[in-house]
Every structure is written in C-alpha cells, then in structure tokens.
C-alpha cells in the first residue's frame, strides 16, 4: 500500500512537472520574437503582405517566415482558441518583432493595415496661406481647398475658437501650430486642421490664459501679440524684449502706435525687403502704423517661444527697436526717440 502511494505521488509529480514544462514552452512561443523584451533591446518592423483569401495556415506560415511569430502551428491553434481564425483580414501590415502573438492576431482581425505616411514641417511664423502652399507641395491637399476648409471648420473641441472676431482675414490664422507632423497620405483637410489645433491646444493651458488676463489681454489678443513677436523677432533671446516694447507702447497713457512693419507686410500680402512710405499707409485694419492697438487677429503662426514671450515680456522700459542690419537678425533697443533715431542712422549705414 505504501509503495502504491509513493508511486502515485511520483506520477502526480511527474505530471505536474510535464504540465509546467509544457506551459512554459507554449508561453515562450507566445512572446515577441525580438530580443530585449525586458531591457529595451533590438526590435525590427516588417512590412508584410497578407494576400486575399489567405487561410489561417498560410498567414501563419508567412508570419513565421518573416520572423514575427515563433511557431506557425501554435499561431493557428491560438487563433482558433480566440475565435479569430475566420476573421483575419488581407492587406499590407507593419508588424514588429516587439509584438506578442495576441497583439498580432488583434491587428490582423481589426485590419489595421499599413498606410503610407507623409512628413511635413510648418515653420514658425507661417501664414495660413503659406501653410496651404506647403500642404499642396507635399501632395496632401490643394491650398485653395485647405483655405476653404479652414474658413468652414467647426469643432466643439476648441473653446478658444469662439473668441476669434469676425473681421479677421483668415479665421484660423495663428492657431495652426508650427511643428513637424507625420500623417497618412489620405488625410483630409479637416483632419489636418484638427491635428494642428490639438498641437496648439497642448501649448495653451489654463495658466497661459490667466497670464494673458493679468496683462489685460484675452487669449486671442495674446496669440495676436505672439504672432507679431514671432514675425519681428529673428533672435529667440530678443522675443521677450520685443514683447516688452509692444506692451509698453500699449500701456502708455497716450498709447503709442505699435508700428509693426510685420503687420504692414501682412496687409500687403507680400514680404518686401524694405517698406516705402506708401506701404506704411496701406488701408488695412491690420496696419498698425495707422490703427491703434493690436490688429484684429494674428499675422502668422507663433511658435512656443513667441507665445511665452507674449505673456511674459521682459521687465524693461524700451519703447523702440530697429534692426541692426548686420546680418545677425538682432535689434537695437531704446527707451527714447533720440536714442532710437541714432540707432536707425547706424542701421542705415550698415545697410549701405
């Protein structure tokens, strides 16, 4: 009797060992095929074509050959266990050796196929028209169609759009954040706009709005100020100084005109090396040489540094700035008209 009990215990122990061994073997076949699953090692992406009407067996063979699964037979069994074996879809997929067998099966079941992507960059200061031209150049959407879509765009996702006044040239001017984006080649104009607005929203938090309000600005006015700073400031370190000049002018009892050449360029619809006296008199609500205060809206897309400078001007008393005209993009700053005129004369000599 004692021998029988010992034998039974040995058999049970053997079954447990074999079961655990089998479990470990099967589990090891389900994990990603790439190395470094626990230490951030080497993973590879594979573009894999699954033909139409492929059987689960054929799909499994393709995946094993490409090295994204460890065992084709287990893949077939696991697909049947999950109930996916009749739901796997044809198409071109981007699968990674970092993906588990279950993750691969889920992608094939949902049909998350590879889509060609396009990468593009919107530089700081770009106007909406320039953004449209850039998007057309990348082959994503025609510029005219993009401008039309931006004029008609509606979304409950972005409260700040409600502040935009009706007399702006382009409604979304200044709100499509300048950055590098990567999108699917079949992206729509509305999807592009939403993507760039979300990127803008990520830069504008509640604290930003509070800082704008503390300066007597609405959020829209702060973005407008930032667009002027972006256009006038070629040297990032000078942006808070340029912002200070504009803020100081607005806060004067007699309110000095901003006299931003960038607003004139925007009103003209072109960038000139130098503006004439006639240019400075162009009849436009954006011309800050003839209209007091800020223009009705941004004159381009401000980047992060310009947005911050608009609500955090330098603690200086400057009222004027003029380009040094020495190729550096830097400016002379001054607090008096006499000093400003002296710097202007010096800049003129540098230009000649």
- Is the residue at 20 inside a domain? no
Q: Which DSSP category does 92 fall into?
A: E
pLDDT at 234: 87
Q: Distance between CA atoms of 50 and 89, rounded to whole angstroms?
A: 8
The domain boundary, picked from 110, 139, 173, lies at: 110
Percentage above 90 pLDDT, the chain: 53
Residue 13 pLDDT exceeds 50: no
- The more confident residue out of 75 and 42 is 75
Is residue 84 pLDDT above 50, yes or no?
A: yes
185 and 273 in a single domain? The answer is no
Q: How confident is the model at residue 32 (pLDDT cuts 50, 70, 90)?
A: low
Mean pLDDT of the chain: 85
Q: What is the pLDDT of residue 247?
A: 95
Boundary residue ending a domain (110, 125, 151): 110
Q: Write out the residue range of the structural domain in which residue 135 sits.
A: 117-203
Q: Are residues 150 and 268 in the same domain?
A: no
94, part of any domain? yes
Q: For residue 278, what are its two tokens?
A: 């006639």
Average pLDDT over residues 9-30: 45
Residues 6 or more apart from 274 whose CB is under 8 A from it? none
Could you tell me if 36 and 133 lie in one domain?
A: no
Average pLDDT over residues 321-334: 88
Given this model, what pLDDT does residue 22 score? 40
Last residue of a domain, one of 110, 141, 159: 110
Do 238 and 329 share a domain, yes or no?
yes
* Most confident listed range (25-39, 52-66, 219-233, 258-272): 219-233
Predicted confidence (pLDDT) at residue 16 exceeds the cutoff of 70? no
How far apart, in whole angstroms, are the C-alpha atoms of residue 312 and residue 106? 49
Do 228 and 308 belong together in one domain?
yes
Provide the pLDDT for residue 1: 57
In this structure, the answer to whether residues 283 and 191 fall within a common structural domain is: no
Q: Assess whether 191 and 265 both reside in one domain.
A: no
For residues 170-194, average pLDDT: 93
Per residue in 300-320, pLDDT tens?
Answer: 999 999 999 999 999 999 999
Domain assignment present for 174: yes
Same domain, 223 and 345: yes
Q: Which of 55-59, 107-111, 211-215 has the lowest mean pLDDT?
A: 107-111
**How many domains are contained in the chain?**
3
23 in any annotated domain = no
Which of 153, 146, 154 shows the shortest CA–CA distance to 127? 146
**DSSP string covering 245-314, please?**
HHHHHHHSTT------HHHHHHHHTS--SS--TTGGG---TT-TTTS-S--SS-SS---HHHHHHHHS--
What's the CATH code of the domain at 77? 3.30.1490.480
In a domain, 11, yes or no: no
Structural contact between residues 343 and 334, judged by C-beta atoms closer than 8 angstroms: yes
What are the backbone angles phi and psi of residue 139, rounded to the nearest 5°? 85, 15
């Amino acid at each position: 009797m004692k021998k029988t009990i010992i034998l039974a215990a040995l058999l049970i122990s053997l079954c447990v060992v074999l079961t655990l061994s089998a479990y470990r073997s099967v589990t090891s076949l389900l994990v990603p095929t790439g190395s470094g699953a626990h230490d951030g090692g080497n993973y590879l992406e594979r573009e894999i074509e699954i033909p139409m009407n492929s059987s689960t067996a054929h799909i499994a063979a393709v995946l094993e050959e490409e090295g994204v699964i460890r065992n084709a037979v287990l893949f077939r069994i696991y697909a049947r266990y999950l109930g996916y074996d009749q739901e796997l879809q044809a198409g071109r997929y981007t699968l990674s050796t970092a993906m588990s067998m279950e993750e691969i099966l889920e992608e094939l079941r949902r049909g998350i196929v590879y889509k060609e992507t396009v990468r593009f960059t919107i530089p700081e200061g770009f106007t909406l028209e320039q953004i449209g031209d850039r998007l057309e150049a990348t082959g994503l959407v025609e510029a005219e169609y993009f401008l039309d879509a931006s004029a008609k765009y509606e979304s409950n996702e972005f409260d700040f759009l409600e502040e935009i006044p009706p007399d702006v040239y382009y409604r979304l001017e200044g709100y499509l954040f300048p950055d590098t984006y990567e999108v699917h080649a079949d992206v729509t104009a509305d999807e592009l706009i939403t993507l760039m607005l979300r990127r803008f929203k990520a830069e504008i938090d509640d604290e930003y709005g509070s800082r704008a309000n503390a300066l007597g600005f609405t959020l829209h006015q702060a973005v407008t100020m930032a667009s002027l700073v972006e256009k006038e400031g070629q040297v990032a370190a000078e942006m808070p100084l340029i912002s200070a000049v504009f803020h100081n002018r607005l806060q004067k009892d007699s309110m000095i005109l901003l006299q931003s050449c960038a607003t004139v360029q925007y009103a003209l619809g072109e960038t000139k090396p130098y503006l004439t006296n006639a240019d400075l008199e162009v009849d436009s609500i954006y011309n800050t040489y003839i209209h007091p205060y800020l223009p009705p809206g941004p004159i381009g897309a401000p980047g992060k540094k310009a947005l911050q400078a608009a609500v955090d001007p330098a603690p200086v008393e400057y009222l004027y700035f003029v380009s040094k005209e020495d190729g550096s993009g830097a400016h002379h700053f001054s607090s008096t008209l006499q000093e400003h005129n002296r710097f202007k004369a010096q800049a003129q000599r540098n230009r000649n």
